[in-house]
Amino acid sequence: MAPIIELKNVTKEFKVLNRREGLKGSLRDLFSRDYKTVRAVDNISMSIEQGEIIGYLGPNGAGKSTTIKMMTGVLEPTSGEITVDGTVPYYNRAKNAQKIGVVFGQRSQLWWALPLVESFKLLKDIYMIEDKPYKDMLALYQSLVDIEPLLHKTVRQMSLGQRTLSDILAAFLHDPKIVFLDEPTIGLDVSMKSKIRTLIHALNKEKNTTVILTTHDMGDVDALCRRIAIIDKGKMLYDNDIEHLKGFFGSYRTLKIRTDGDHKIQAEAIRAELPDFSVSADDEWISVLVDEDRQKVIDVLGQLQKSYDIRDMQLNEISTEEVIRKIYEEGVQ
């Protein structure tokens, strides 16, 4: 089968004004404009199959949102080609809109002053959804999350979590073939994140919807994505299964220890003591990434034991979080 989305050597450049400093500079800008070119997306090719959930990852400013805007037809590439389900999105925006749903985290696409159910009815008209599939979809939603109390709330009255949930439901309402989720879990608490992940997973399974997800939360990636594409400075660094990527770091282990002290403060001290290791901490664990080809875990543990009262420990494979951090820091070897 042909891929549902195909990008071929896609590049997007923006012309931005090189602003000069101070009043004199502003006056000069008025008369002679000095532009520079920013290459936000640099020769990216990618093909995505119907039903996949792909994690589109990269640091801030990497070019993720720009890529999504081109796939949704909002922006036209400077060069290269995109097809989305056989159409060129930026030449056929209306046609493309029928096939896609979009959620940009923190920027709701819904009508603020309307109860959610009224927004849904408007979307029903806009997308020309028939009564039966509309009713079926609402029934499916009700089976997945308790939407009844949300339906009669205005978006304005909702918490960020409820709003995100509503935005996602709205994006799937016309049963699009593809849904783009740009940082959907940003700012949400742990339980809401988990609810949203379960919902996205269920909708993908139920409707075989293709999902393009950008996120900084590796919990989202672990819960939802088998495949990840990583870009940095507009260039594609990696595009394959996450497990395949972890395979490059086969000799790495995450040593996790729990102590009675403040983990954040202790992690800071461990970082100073072991500058070659990547160390992170949360309430539950202090994690030290060890390359067993270079150092034995047992030796590292021995060294830590001298300075810290270790209550509990665990040894794990490298986590998604750590793999991605290493890729950002060092690239793919």
Ligand X SMILES: Nc1ncnc2c1ncn2[C@@H]1O[C@H](COP(=O)(O)OP(=O)(O)O)[C@@H](O)[C@H]1O
Interacting residues toward Mg ion by CB under 5 A: 64-65
* Backbone CA torsion sign across 85, 91, 95, 97: positive
Please give the span between the terminal C-alpha atoms of the chain, in angstroms, as a whole number.
32
Sheet of strand 35-48, all strands in order from the earlier edge strand to the far edge:
35-48, 5-17, 79-84
Which of 221, 220, 311 has the alpha carbon at shortest distance from 266?
311
* DSSP SS3 for 327: helix
d(CA 88, CA 84): 6
CB 133 → ligand X: shortest distance, Å?
33
Q: Which is nearer to ligand X, 17 or 122 (CB)?
A: 17
Which of Mg ion, ligand X, none lies near 105, with the C-beta cut-off 5 to 8 A by kind?
none
CB 70 → ligand X: shortest distance, Å?
10
Residues that bind ligand X (CB under 6 A): 14, 16, 38, 40, 58, 60-66
Which of ligand X, Mg ion, none lies near 119, with the C-beta cut-off 5 to 8 A by kind?
none
CB 38 → ligand X: shortest distance, Å?
5
Which of ligand X, Mg ion, none lies near 14, with the C-beta cut-off 5 to 8 A by kind?
ligand X
160: its two tokens: 């960020």
CB 234 → ligand X: shortest distance, Å?
7
The DSSP annotation for 186-247 comes to: TT--HHHHHHHHHHHHHHHHHH--EEEEE-S-HHHHHHH-SEEEEEETTEEEEEEEHHHHHH
Q: Which is nearer to ligand X, 40 or 212 (CB)?
A: 40
Category of 216 on φ-ψ map: left (φ > 0), alpha (ψ -120 to 50) or beta: alpha
Which of ligand X, Mg ion, none lies near 58, with the C-beta cut-off 5 to 8 A by kind?
ligand X
CB 84 → ligand X: shortest distance, Å?
18
Q: Which is nearer to ligand X, 185 or 287 (CB)?
A: 185
Q: Which is nearer to ligand X, 42 or 118 (CB)?
A: 42
d(CA 67, CA 64): 5
Q: Which is nearer to ligand X, 26 or 37 (CB)?
A: 37
CB 182 → Mg ion: shortest distance, Å?
6
Which of Mg ion, ligand X, none lies near 196, with the C-beta cut-off 5 to 8 A by kind?
none
Q: Which is nearer to ligand X, 63 or 129 (CB)?
A: 63
CB 288 → Mg ion: shortest distance, Å?
31
Which of 218, 182, 209, 212 has the alpha carbon at shortest distance from 328?
218
State the residue number with the nearest CB to Mg ion: 65
Q: Which is nearer to ligand X, 207 or 325 (CB)?
A: 325
Report the 10 Å Cβ neighbour count for 306.
Answer: 7
d(CA 292, CA 93): 52
Which of Mg ion, ligand X, none lies near 204, with the C-beta cut-off 5 to 8 A by kind?
none
